[in-house]
Amino acid sequence: MGKKTFTCIVCPRGCRVTIDDNMNVTGNKCLRGEKYARTEMTNPTRILTTTVKTTFKNMPRVSVKTEEPIPKELIMQAMEEINKVTIKEQKKIGDIVIENILDTGINVILTKPLIRNEVKNEEVHLSN
Amino acid sequence: MREIVVIGGGASGLAVALETKKRGRDVLLIEREEDLGGILNQCIHNGFGLEVFEEEYTGPEYANKYIEEFLKLDIDYHLNTTVLKIEKTNNYFEITMSSKARGIEKIKAKAVVISTGSYERSRGSIIMPGERPYGVITAGSAQRYLNIDGYMVGKRVFILGSGDIGLIMARRMFLEGAKVLGVAEIMPYSNGLTRNIVQCLDDFDIPLYLSHTVTDVKSGESNRLESIVIQKVDENFNPIENTAKVFEVDTLLLSIGLIPDIALLDNLEVVVDSLTKSAKINQAYETSVRGLFICGNSLQVHDLVDNVTLESIRAGKCVSDYLEKKLEKNNESIDIIPGKNVGYVTPQVLDFSWSPKELIISFRGKKKMEKTKIKVFQNNELVFEKFKQFIVPAEMETIKLDYSKLNKFDELGISLEEL
Ligand code: SF4
């Protein structure tokens, strides 16, 4: 019988979770910790957050993330794919930048609007 | 004359503006950058929002939720505008601000809220021997250059200090192709969240040198950083001989702590707390200057943005109450003092002219503690106690207590006792 203990990284609480050979999980404060412990044993995954180049002068980079966690061993390859992209047109937060990255079935999406018109067009906003 | 001027459009300022506007107040927010959202815009990693939304967001996503609401509520704002000075004359404040587009302008306000965040401790604030070459920069500046402007500050990187920004930047620079040779932390434990040690260092085999510090910095011909030396330290943080390790690096990132940015309080007679390095406040987030409020990282450095939001909403409510009730100071107040094992406490003053039902006290422990009782005393009498499994300096603690039973003369002391 072997046991493995690690830190759940799903949220900043960082519970110490223990998993045994029968995949029983203890120490987790919520169900996500149980799921995390199981995938960490079989196929560790991470959400990847990075930036993408744009052609916009005032926003040369815009932030993106994988919509779901992707396998840990694909992270560097995913970085390569994402660094090939340059966005040329305005997009909303949540819009897809790369569909189904590396055949994971997971999209890379914007985490910031490119560009927030209401603000960019208006340096001073006074309602009356 | 405005009712409320909020200075700073990050997590704190946005929350204050939203809360006061929703309570029907007149509010103007001033932001020095060209976009709202503050430091969250460069914190592209995830981990934000679990307390407030019970979901995990990246920094820009978290900011966007508040920015969208802010714009929807049609709140007044100035962007690209720097506040130069705040002065108080009789019953109102005069704020001097400057912008490229409109030059110097002055406005008046009945209440001012400081939500200016914090700045990073830099090399000047620690004693680091060696030369002063290019390539030694704060982790937050490197984060901004990379995530907002899109360029890397170096190719071979070492990080001094294991605060969260340093850990996040270790991963970030690794992902962008830099060699990250290690992180040195002078304390025997990390100052960052455990999850960041796991997912930023362990995931990429980046070594963490605990009880180590940088003891020399060397530059080449063009005054660019070429190498650093780290050494193990003893209990008194003195370098131990024969423990030196040399790393050839072009960049040393400093992640050695944040300090509340209160430069704007210079012209006001604000009482400052040497422990928080910010203004002393009462339980309504009001400084010693009537009508001047402060919250978010400019009040105390938070580890979670969710707590900045929650604190700033409370502050926004207090500012609204202040304008509604036009409270007069009645000079009935007591001090709140950090006692055994407590690093600092906010608020520092309990002012009985304010009458919210509960008192929310935030503080940090001085050291790592297990099975701990948080105790509050007044005049040697225990008025509150709470059990905590773990206390770590990296995490801010918050307790709520009812102060209707307290006397109005004796100070409150808060201490931590290990069982
Ligand atoms: S088990 Fe749940 S509460 Fe604990 S760290 Fe994981 S996600 Fe957070």
A26 touches chain B (CB under 8 A): no
Dist. CA B5 → ligand 1 center (Å): 39
Together in a domain, A85 and A56: yes
pLDDT digits (tens, 9 = 90+) for B275-328: 999 999 999 999 999 999 999 999 999 989 999 999 999 999 999 999 987 566
Indicate which residue's Cα is closest to atom 3 of ligand 1: A29
Query: Does residue A128 lie in a domain region?
Result: no
The number of domains in chain A is 2
Q: Which residues pair with A51 in a beta bridge?
A: A63
pLDDT of residue B124: 65
Together in a domain, A53 and A28: no
**Does B99 or A115 have the greater pLDDT score?**
B99
Pick from B109, B22, B32: nearest CA to B316: B22
- Chain B residues in contact with A53 by the CB 8 A cut-off are 150
- pLDDT-based confidence at residue A81 (cuts at 50, 70, 90): very high
Together in a domain, A36 and A54: no
Together in a domain, A60 and A100: yes
Query: Does residue A126 lie in a domain region?
Result: no
- Chain B residues in contact with A6 by the CB 8 A cut-off are 198
- pLDDT-based confidence at residue B22 (cuts at 50, 70, 90): very high
Report which secondary-structure segment, H or E, holds A37: helix A31-42
pLDDT of residue A117: 58
- pLDDT-based confidence at residue B204 (cuts at 50, 70, 90): very high
Q: With a cut of 60, say whether residue B360 has pLDDT above it.
A: yes
pLDDT of residue B327: 62
| CB interface of B with A, residues 68-87, below 8 Å | 71, 74-81
Q: With a cut of 80, say whether residue A30 has pLDDT above it.
A: yes
pLDDT of residue B126: 62
CATH code for the domain of A94 = 3.10.530.10
- pLDDT-based confidence at residue B19 (cuts at 50, 70, 90): very high
Q: How far is CA B147 from CA A68, B152, B173, B256, B284, in A?
A: 21, 9, 10, 20, 36
Beta carbon of A94 within 6 Å of any ligand 1 atom:
no
Dist. CA B137 → ligand 1 center (Å): 34
B210 touches chain A (CB under 8 A): no
Dist. CA B388 → ligand 1 center (Å): 18
Beta carbon of A25 within 6 Å of any ligand 1 atom:
no
Query: Does residue A119 lie in a domain region?
Result: no
Q: Which residue has the tokens 């209160």?
A: B262
Other Cβ atoms closer than 10 A to B398: 12
Cα B407 from Cα B334, distance rounded (Å):
9
Q: With a cut of 70, say whether residue B260 has pLDDT above it.
A: yes
The nearest CA of chain A is from the CA of B258 a distance in Å of 19
Q: Which residue has the tokens 């720097």?
A: B82
Cα A15 from Cα A30, distance rounded (Å):
9
Q: How far is CA A83 from CA A61, B7, B262, B322, in A?
A: 11, 37, 39, 51
pLDDT of residue A22: 86
Instruction: Choose which residue among A5, A15, A34, A40 to substitute to test ligand 1 binding: the one with the highest number of ligand atoms within 8 A of its C-beta.
Output: A15
pLDDT digits (tens, 9 = 90+) for B162-197: 989 999 999 999 999 999 999 999 999 887 888 889
Query: Does residue A127 lie in a domain region?
Result: no
Together in a domain, A34 and A78: no
Q: Tell me the pLDDT of chain B averaged across its residues.
A: 92
- pLDDT-based confidence at residue B369 (cuts at 50, 70, 90): confident
Q: Is the Cβ–Cβ distance between A72 and B205 less than 8 Å?
A: no
pLDDT of residue B357: 64
Reported pTM: 0.92
pLDDT of residue A116: 66
Q: What's the CATH number for B1-120+257-326? A: 3.50.50.60
Q: With a cut of 70, say whether residue B405 has pLDDT above it.
A: yes
pLDDT of residue A2: 74
- Chain A residues in contact with B35 by the CB 8 A cut-off are 116, 119-120
Beta carbon of A28 within 6 Å of any ligand 1 atom:
yes
**Does B361 or B220 have the greater pLDDT score?**
B361
The nearest CA of chain A is from the CA of B304 a distance in Å of 9
A30 touches chain B (CB under 8 A): no
Q: Is the Cβ–Cβ distance between B276 and B299 less than 8 Å?
A: yes
Structural domain that includes position A35: 4-42
Q: Is the Cβ–Cβ distance between A110 and A97 less than 8 Å?
A: yes
Does B1-120+257-326 match B122-256 in CATH topology? yes
Together in a domain, A73 and A27: no
CATH number of B122-256, picked from 3.50.50.60, 1.10.3720.10, 3.10.150.10, 3.40.50.1220: 3.50.50.60
Spell out the domain ranges in chain B.
1-120+257-326, 122-256, 330-419
Q: How far is CA B93 from CA A6, A19, B112, B382, in A?
A: 53, 59, 7, 41
pLDDT digits (tens, 9 = 90+) for A89-128: 999 999 999 999 999 999 999 999 998 655 554 677 877 5
pLDDT digits (tens, 9 = 90+) for B124-138: 656 666 777 889 999
- Report residue B73 as tokens: 């509520």
CATH class of this structure's domain B330-419: mainly beta
Dist. CA A12 → ligand 1 center (Å): 8
Beta carbon of A31 within 6 Å of any ligand 1 atom:
no
The nearest CA of chain B is from the CA of A22 a distance in Å of 24
Q: Is B205 exposed, middle or buried (0-12, 13-18, 19+ CB in 10 A)?
A: exposed
- Chain A residues in contact with B394 by the CB 8 A cut-off are none
